[in-house]
Amino acid sequence: MKKLKVSLPQQPYPIYLKKGLLEEIPNRFKEKYPSKRLALITDENVEKLYGRKLEEELKSNGFKTQLISIPPGEQSKSIRTLEEIYEKLLDFQITRGDILLTLGGGVVGDVGGMAAATYLRGIPLIHIPTSLLAQIDSSIGGKVAINLPRGKNLIGSFYHPQEVYIDPQLLTTLDKRYFRDGLAEIIKYGCIKDKELFHQLLAFPNEEQLFQNIEDIIYTCCKIKSHIVEKDEKDAEERMLLNFGHTLGHAIEKYFHYEKFTHGEAVALGMYNITKKSEEQCITQKGTAEGIKQLLKKYHLPHKMPKIDREDLIKTIGLDKKNRGQYINIVLLEKLGNGFIQKFSPEEIERMVFIEKD
Ligand SMILES: NC(=O)c1ccc[n+]([C@@H]2O[C@H](COP(=O)([O-])OP(=O)(O)OC[C@H]3O[C@@H](n4cnc5c(N)ncnc54)[C@H](O)[C@@H]3O)[C@@H](O)[C@H]2O)c1
Ligand SMILES: O=C(O)C(=O)C[C@@H](O)[C@H](O)[C@H](O)COP(=O)(O)O
Ligand SMILES: [Zn+2]
């Protein structure tokens, strides 16, 4: 078992990483949380694969549990789904002395975490991430959110879990498209902080070989994210680096109504196209964009900007949470492995997001 820690002064929490960890959870909880009642939030896919079995085993270990299953996919990051979760938590009469467990990908973690952060003004939360993206990104750092039609993650909070349990074994059932979603965020870490990781991803002959090394890759990503969150929990500066590719990426997701592109695909588009632009403006070292393009193509992630109404794009970018006053903060690369935050005026941003056809 590998263990990391997010050492936040008010609420440090452990991250456990081990193949087969899911099966150990009922016994671990029996020792750690004997009298707690557990609400288990998952989605309909993960419920069938893992949720029902986990609930049964928790029950046979004496826990009173309530399984709450939401439709899979981005559309569940909505006020309507959140309200449905609230109603079920109310029926279950969960209290602040109990635990809300999320078992799923980033969508379950975000909307389930939002419920934990707000129901009764806060219920203790534990994440059991089941997608690659959730294991290397969304289950750590405390960002929880839902979308509005006009913008991504516009409603949310910083609400950290008490613990995170990562079982890479669960990735064996993950659809390739969503495995690649997680790869986009791993590529992001390589771009902003770790060029060795970037080159390692390039060096794997194929996804199968990469998967052989997934536990070490997950550990590396969790370490990078934990370190950044410890330095800047609330996105004041350094943590914005984790948003590389997201200014354009979130605008793309929203423009296509959170349907056409997954989050990882949109972030891939954002990372490449903003770097192409910043290279053209001699902000980024020549050749960086081409390197990103090669890696995205290797793992079947998109790089060609879809046709988007410019006004809509500019308007959505104007809502980005990294903005401060009239200025828009965008994460750029000086070179591979070295991200930084650049401030743009609204006029300057027009030049940055006018994307010619590739
Ligand atoms: N809070 C954060 O810090 C943070 C970080 C990154 C991304 N996110 C958010 O995460 C979301 C994307 O997360 P995602 O890529 O996990 O998408 P997701 O939660 O929609 O999961 C993708 C699909 O895989 C299925 N699935 C999940 N685990 C599975 C498994 N083990 N086996 C088989 N199927 C499985 C799900 O049912 C779903 O159909 C976006 O909303 C993004 O904004 C949040
Ligand atoms: O944890 C962070 O900080 C991130 O930016 C991680 C991102 O990968 C993730 O998509 C996050 O939800 C985006 O944050 P937001 O503040 O732009 O909603
Ligand atoms: Zn992301």
DSSP-assigned states of every residue in 252-286: HHHHTTTTSS-HHHHHHHHHHHHHHHHHHTTSS-T
**Using 50, 70 and 90 to split pLDDT, how confident is the model at 358?**
very low
Provide the whole-model pTM.
Answer: 0.98
Q: In the 8-state DSSP scheme, what is residue 154?
A: E
Q: Give the ligand at the shortest distance from the Cα of 146.
A: 1
Rounded to 5°, the CA angle 123-233-131 comes to 65
Residue 206 and residue 46: Cα distance in Å, rounded?
27
Residue 355 has pLDDT above 80, yes or no: no
* Cβ–ligand 2 contact at 243 (below 6 Å): yes
The answer to the question of whether 108 is labelled as a binding residue is yes
The answer to the question of whether 91 is labelled as a binding residue is no
Q: Averaged over 114-122, what is the pLDDT?
A: 98
Mean pLDDT of the chain: 96
Q: Averaged over 69-78, what is the pLDDT?
A: 98
Q: Which residues on neighbouring strands pair with residue 104, listed in sequence order?
A: 129
pLDDT at 357: 47
The answer to the question of whether 245 is labelled as a binding residue is no
Percent of the chain with pLDDT over 70: 99
- In order of their start, the domains of the chain are 2-173 (3.40.50.1970), 176-352 (1.20.1090.10)
Q: SS3 of 65, please? A: strand
* Cβ–ligand 1 contact at 108 (below 6 Å): yes
Instruction: Render 158-189 in DSSP notation, one character per residue.
Output: E---SEEEE-GGGGGGS-HHHHHHHHHHHHHH
Which residue puts its alpha carbon closest to atom 4 of ligand 1?
138
265-286 pLDDT, tens per residue? Answer: 999 999 999 999 999 999 999 9
Residue 354 has pLDDT above 70, yes or no: no
